[in-house]
Amino acid sequence: MELKPEETDLLTDYLDHYGSLIGDKRTKKAFRGTIKGIIAAESLVCARIAAHSPELAAGKNSEQRIRRMVGVGKQKTTKRSSLDADHLCAKLQERALEQLQDEEEVWVMDDGCDLRKPHARRMEGLMRVKKLDGEGLTNGYRTLNAIGIGKKRRGILHHRLFSSEEEAFVSEPHEVQKMLHAVIKATQRLKAKIIHAMDSGFDDVAVWSTIWEAGQQLVCRLCHLERLVERQTSDGRWETISLTQAASGLQELAEVETDMVVQKGRQKYAKLQPVKARIAACPLRLTYQVEARRRRDGERRQKLVWLVQVVLEGLNWEPWWLITDIPVVDAASATKVFCIYRQRWAAEDAFKVSKECLGWEEVQLLALDAVRNLVALAWVATGFLYELGVTFEWYEVRLLARLGGWEERKDPARRPGKIVLMRGLRRLLDMQATQVILRDEIATYGQLPPRLAALIGYSTTT
């Protein structure tokens, strides 16, 4: 199956955005082939990438070309190209800003994610990260990522892989501040209102201070309920209390229903099903220091914030405790804050695509910079997949959905997800790689092995 010549090749158009980083045609072919191979192979193992790439499958030493491109060994593909992690991520951010240019409001999903290598011993800069089940530590690296989500478009605003064992490392809070400043600087070019949504790993007043000083807003899940805040009394005074004590002043404002993949009652497995959420909130005042991570004498300021509690009915879960500077005063504002934090799971979806479906934890290179560069290429592939599905009206997207096993539903809102679209793209790329190898076999030997040719319906002659 082939797309008609007059139809747009979405992936080719997407990869053209990175053309300015490429210095020659040979590198261009290796770059495009690597991205397609990553998607088709579901892996960052260079040999698998080469074997599944339409451009590289039939070539000799294709694996070595990929390894040279990402900087393995002393020789690189070309000195005229800039296909390193920093340049690739800058282009990812540039692409995201183009996608989000016309949005009125953008929710930025800031997140940290571990790349785990439990069996690795010789990879450069391995640090200790949490195991997948959260029990104990294992070898790996840390990443910080930010994804911007608008009503119509979305894009990857930041990605960085780092290790506490590398020479230039200062601290993880320093890395977080670098990410925040980079994302804030980039999003200030947009006309949109920017709201950051963060998990409990960012429960840090220094993080919130950086966002507030930039004139942006946040919704953050809390971890430290012992944090001291101020509550206004009936006579107008402000008293210092903990967040736990502040919960006594919560007022229920809304009850919403959302679909979540959860396990209720005696259900054996988690599944997508309706869940009711009760949302309560109360106003508080928080004192923070400007540039707390950079200066000891930063000005101290006060900020009006809202403590938000989300209780999910029918689930044996602890309540979600959120803090936000968005005024939560009625059902509409309470629902909005819930939706912003709920949308954070879209970030988890992106990580699932990168980690599970593109296999970035399978990377087997020894040099840290090479690991960083190859994982950045995986994020380039993720960026393309992340754009799919937004424009379902395009024929190419509908075809990929069909190749991925999706069937048209009566409900037009039930569109295929990125996993289905990627499955379809993978089948298409595998077909192209197969065609390349078969044509090379026929060109070399004059025909295919007769029994295999009969099996697939090929002519046994050229």
Instruction: Provide, rounded to the nearest whole percent, the portion of the chain with pLDDT above 70.
Output: 86
Domain-terminating residue out of 293, 327, 350: 350
Whether residue 247 sits in one domain with residue 204: yes
Assign 393 a pLDDT band (cuts: 50, 70, 90): low
Task: Compute the mean pLDDT over every residue in the chain, rounded to the nearest whole number.
Answer: 85
Whether residue 285 sits in one domain with residue 226: yes
Distance between CA atoms of residues 402 and 430, nearest Å? 15
Whether residue 148 sits in one domain with residue 92: yes
Whether residue 119 sits in one domain with residue 21: no
Phi, psi of 417 (to 5 degrees): -85, 180
Q: How far is CA 397 from CA 149, 155, 401, 417, in A?
A: 20, 18, 6, 11
How many domains is the chain built from? 2
Lowest-confidence range among 162-166, 230-234, 456-460?
Answer: 456-460
Distance between CA atoms of residues 449 and 57, nearest Å? 19
**288 in a structural domain:** yes
**455 in a structural domain:** no
Distance between CA atoms of residues 250 and 308, nearest Å? 8
* CATH code, domain carrying 114: 3.90.350.10
Whether residue 168 sits in one domain with residue 223: yes
Phi, psi of 240 (to 5 degrees): -85, 125
**5 in a structural domain:** no
Whether residue 153 sits in one domain with residue 273: yes
Distance between CA atoms of residues 313 and 285, nearest Å? 29
> Domain of 198?
85-350
pLDDT of residue 414: 60
Distance between CA atoms of residues 317 and 312, nearest Å? 7
pLDDT surpassing 80 at residue 401 = no
Distance between CA atoms of residues 218 and 220, nearest Å? 6
Whether residue 170 sits in one domain with residue 130: yes
CB-CB contact of 374 with 161 (8 Å) = no
Whether residue 79 sits in one domain with residue 101: no
Phi-psi region of 156 (alpha: psi -120 to 50; beta: other; left: phi over 0): beta
Whether residue 222 sits in one domain with residue 178: yes
pLDDT of residue 54: 85
**211 in a structural domain:** yes
CB-CB contact of 152 with 390 (8 Å) = yes
Whether residue 164 sits in one domain with residue 136: yes
Kind and range of the H or E run holding 461: none
Distance between CA atoms of residues 360 and 353, nearest Å? 10
User: Pick the residue with more confidence: 420 or 87?
Assistant: 87
CB-CB contact of 92 with 380 (8 Å) = yes
**251 in a structural domain:** yes
pLDDT surpassing 60 at residue 395 = no
The pTM is what?
A: 0.84
| Kind of pairing between the strands at 193-198 and 105-116 | parallel
**Nearby residues of 431 by Cβ (< 8 Å), 6 or more positions away:** 1
Q: Which two tokens stand for residue 375?
A: 């994982």
**366 in a structural domain:** no
CB-CB contact of 246 with 282 (8 Å) = yes
User: Cβ atoms within 10 A of the Cβ of 54, count?
Assistant: 21
pLDDT of residue 8: 41
pLDDT of residue 272: 77
- 248 class by beta-carbon count within 10 Å (0-12 exposed, 13-18 middle, 19+ buried): exposed
Beta bridge partners of 324: 219, 306
pLDDT surpassing 70 at residue 389 = no
pLDDT one-digit tens code per residue, 284-329: 999 999 987 777 788 999 999 999 999 999 888 899 999 999 999 9
pLDDT of residue 397: 63
pLDDT of residue 5: 37
Burial pattern 103-123, b for ≥16 Cβ within 10 A else e, equals beebbbbbbbbbbbbeebeeb
pLDDT of residue 4: 40
Q: Which two tokens stand for residue 46?
A: 């260079």
Q: How far is CA 438 from CA 145, 187, 433, 447, in A?
A: 40, 48, 9, 9
CB-CB contact of 244 with 260 (8 Å) = no
User: Pick the residue with more confidence: 253 or 346?
Assistant: 253
Lowest-confidence range among 189-198, 304-313, 360-369?
Answer: 360-369
Whether residue 140 sits in one domain with residue 48: no
Q: Which two tokens stand for residue 356?
A: 């599970």
**450 in a structural domain:** no
Distance between CA atoms of residues 128 and 118, nearest Å? 9
Distance between CA atoms of residues 438 and 436, nearest Å? 6
Whether residue 91 sits in one domain with residue 77: no
Distance between CA atoms of residues 182 and 188, nearest Å? 10
**217 in a structural domain:** yes
Lowest-confidence range among 93-102, 122-131, 378-387?
Answer: 378-387
